[in-house]
Amino acid sequence: MLTLKGIKKTFNKGTVTEKPALLGVDLHLDRGDFVTVIGGNGAGKSTMLNSIAGVFPVDAGTITLDGTDVTRLSEPQRARYLGRVFQDPMRGTAADMQIEENLALAARRGKRRGLRVCITREEREEYREKLAILGLGLETRLADKVGLLSGGQRQALTLLMASLNSPDLLLLDEHTAALDPKTAAKVLELTQKIVTENGLTTLMVTHNMHDAIRLGNRLIMMSDGKIIYEVSGEEKAKLHRADLMAKFEEAAGAELASDRMLLG
Amino acid sequence: MLLALQGAVSQGILWGVMVLGVYITFRLLNIPDMTVDGSFALGGCVCAVACVNLGLNPWIALLFAMIAGAAAGCVTGILHTVFEIPAILAGILSMISLWSINLRIMGKSNTPLLQVDTIFSGIVKATGLPQSLVSLLFGLVFAVVIVAVLYWFFGTEIGSALRATGNNEDMVRALGVDTRQTKVLALTIANALVGLAGGLVCQSQKYADIGMGTGAITIGLAAIVIGEVLGRLTPGKLTAFAPRLIAVVVGSVVYFIIRAIVLQLGMNANDMKLLSAIIVVAALSVPVVSERLGARRAYQKGGAA
């Protein structure tokens, strides 16, 4: 489904703020894989996700989605393959537009937009049913402006929007990091439900080791722009937080002590 | 006085078409588009030259004015999106260039339309109604049609992507819309309306002048904020899209009524631009100041309790 080969990216090349972010990342996801990504600050997790989404061009390597080389495609051109949820709940939705309008915009991801009406009656019914699944009472508020919703509600809505049209790959970039623990747990539960029910191939960045172990069938650990550890299936299910901490130190040495603090 | 007011209303409606264009860029796209000053005059100049020098039908002349305005908006859009020039600067560059272009088009600084037919004189001849009434009714019908078309357009898939672009660009790109295209499209449509309004005003006042667009953006912004303030006074608070568009045209009419009144009271016409600027500043700063005062008052209340 997704293949990364030798992806490299350096920000601000040739200036004093030059920052190598990805130093050759290779990764392959099969259809239906749910991969969690962990790593300290500056490990390159978000940069990897943004490279896949085409937010910026990469310096080297190839990105293949569903058999198509998308390395040179722009962000909007890649959107047909990707559902995305960002860390900031404000980034995934349009605040001044209605809930149903947001969903209708998302439902046309990767399709040609024309002069047809932006939301049909059948769609409205479909959205009502889908919103009911979230269990947040949004199904009665289709015409409300999204700006009236809480961060958790907005994030749940973004998740639903990202899953419309069954994207080939779902990219979750620390999508629960800005939420309070209770709301984060709820959004994570919805994430699992939506991913399982739609059989979505998923790449989820998280700072929470417990979630990284609990969710998904594969786990990768990044450090200094590289994937340093990978585990899947049975082995992953048996993993403990202590194992991951050990891996961290083994792979990266004592210099990552500060990261360890952050990840605890 | 009554005649002056009737004139103000019909003038307000014709300028309302321009204000709708300003509304698209300023409110939907969050760009104060300076192109407007140039493209309004461009519409007037193109219309005048088409009528007088080329002897074209006034409707065709109006179409040309609209196309010219659209082209000007498209240029601003390309400067802004392809070459990443900040939106305000891109607009200023277009506006300044249009001053020279408009002079080139007319070959002089103004063109009277005294000897030729206009849309208004055509209707007067056909119906026998007085000129002032024709100009009022025609403007009204025209504005209603434009509002209806805009309402329809912003309810389509492209229109809704365009509204979302002003709201959250990151999201729109992630949903597969090239925001550069939507921005160019919005600026093109907005300035097409502005050019059209320039042509209409030119035909109604029977001359085009190189300076006719100067301060148009301020008039547009003043009309928008007046319309929004009036809209807030209505029971529905004007949240739906169609009433918001109508409020914009009403704001334009109210602006020209205020203008007619202060001119009648003996104010110098040249001071009008200052007054427009003051209206805009007041409308934009009152909510900010009142919120700040409200926050301060709330704090003292809490402290006393």
CA-based nearest residue in chain A for residue B168: A94
Q: How does pLDDT run across B87-115, given as a tens digit for each residue?
A: 999 999 999 999 999 999 999 999 999 88
CA–CA separation, A116 and A119 (whole Å): 8
DSSP E strands, A30-100: 34-39, 60-65, 68-69, 82-85
Please tell me the distance from the alpha carbon of residue A166 to that of residue A59, in angstroms, as a whole number: 30
pLDDT for position B91: 97
Three-state secondary structure string covering A83-139: EEECCCHHHCCCCCCEHHHHHHHHHCCCCCCCCCECCCHHHHHHHHHHHHHHCCCHH
Q: Which residues pair with A221 in a beta bridge?
A: A38, A229
Which residues 175-194 of B are in CB contact (within 8 Å) with A? 175-179
Model pLDDT, residue B34: 96
**Distance of alpha carbon B45 from alpha carbon B65, whole angstroms:** 8
What residue spans of B82-215 are helical by DSSP H?
87-106, 119-127, 131-153, 157-167, 169-174, 179-205
d(CA A263, CA B13): 63
CA angle A210, A21, A214 (to 5 degrees): 10
ipTM, two decimals: 0.88
| Residue A202 included in any domain | yes
In terms of residue numbers, what domain contains A35? 2-94+150-263
Chain A residue with minimal CA distance to B179?
A: A76
Q: Which residue has the tokens 């058999």?
A: A67
Query: Does residue A263 carry a pLDDT above 80?
Result: no
For residue A236, is it within any domain?
Answer: yes
Domain count, chain A: 1
Chain-chain contact of B161 with A105 (C-beta, under 8 angstroms): yes
Contact A76 B170 (CB under 8 A): no
3-class SS letters over A186-222 = HHHHHHHHHHHHHCCCEEEECCCHHHHHHCCCEEEEE
In a domain, A193, yes or no: yes
pLDDT value, residue B237: 64
Q: How far is CA B32 from the centre of its chain?
A: 11
Whether pLDDT at A261 is above 60: no
Residue A19 covered by a domain: yes
Count Cβ–Cβ pairs < 8 Å, chain A vs chain B.
81
* pLDDT at B271 (0 to 100): 87
Phi and psi at residue A8, in whole multiples of 5°? -125, 140
For residue B147, give every residue at least 6 positions away whose Cβ sits within 8 Å of its Cβ, in sequence order, or none.
Answer: B20, B242, B245, B246, B249
With a cut of 50, list the residues of chain B below it in pLDDT.
305
**Which pLDDT score, from 0 to 100, does residue A239 have?**
83
CATH number at residue A218: 3.40.50.300
Could you report the per-residue pLDDT of B154-198, keeping only the tens digit for each? 999 999 999 999 999 999 999 999 999 999 999 999 999 999 999
pLDDT in tens, A207-258: 888 899 999 999 999 988 999 889 888 888 888 888 888 887 776 664 555 5
* Alpha carbon of B219: minimum distance to chain A alpha carbons (Å): 25
All residues at 6 or more sequence positions from B137 whose CB lies less than 8 Å from its CB, including other chains: B129
Please classify residue B254 by burial: count the beta carbons closer than 10 Å to its beta carbon, then call 0-12 exposed, 13-18 middle and 19+ buried.
buried
CB-neighbour burial class of residue B55 (10 A; exposed 0-12, middle 13-18, buried 19+): exposed
In the 8-state DSSP scheme, what is residue B129?
A: -
d(CA A163, CA A176): 16
Kindly state the tokens that stand for B65. 């004015």
pLDDT one-digit tens code per residue, A65-81: 999 999 999 999 999 99
Do A247 and A220 touch, CB atoms closer than 8 A? no
The lowest-confidence range among A136-140, A165-169, B290-294 is: B290-294
CA distance B16 to B10: 9
Strands A202-205 and A218-223: unpaired
How far apart are the C-alpha atoms of A198 and A160, rounded to whole Å?
A: 11
> Does the distance separating the beta carbons of B171 and A115 come in below 8 Å?
no
Give the pLDDT of residue B5: 87
Q: Which of B20, B27, B55, B12 is nearest to B195 (CA)?
A: B20
Closest CA to A30 of A201, A167, A197: A201
A180 by DSSP, 3-state: which? coil
Q: Which helix (H) or strand (E) holds B16?
A: helix B2-23
How many helices and strands, by DSSP H and E, does chain B display? 12, 2
Question: Cβ–Cβ of A105/B155 closer than 8 Å?
Answer: no
From the list B153, B160, B167, the residue facing A95 with the nearest CB is: B167
Rounded to a whole number, what is the distance in Å from the CA of B295 to chain A's nearest CA?
21
Cβ distance A117 to B155 less than 8 Å, yes or no, reads yes
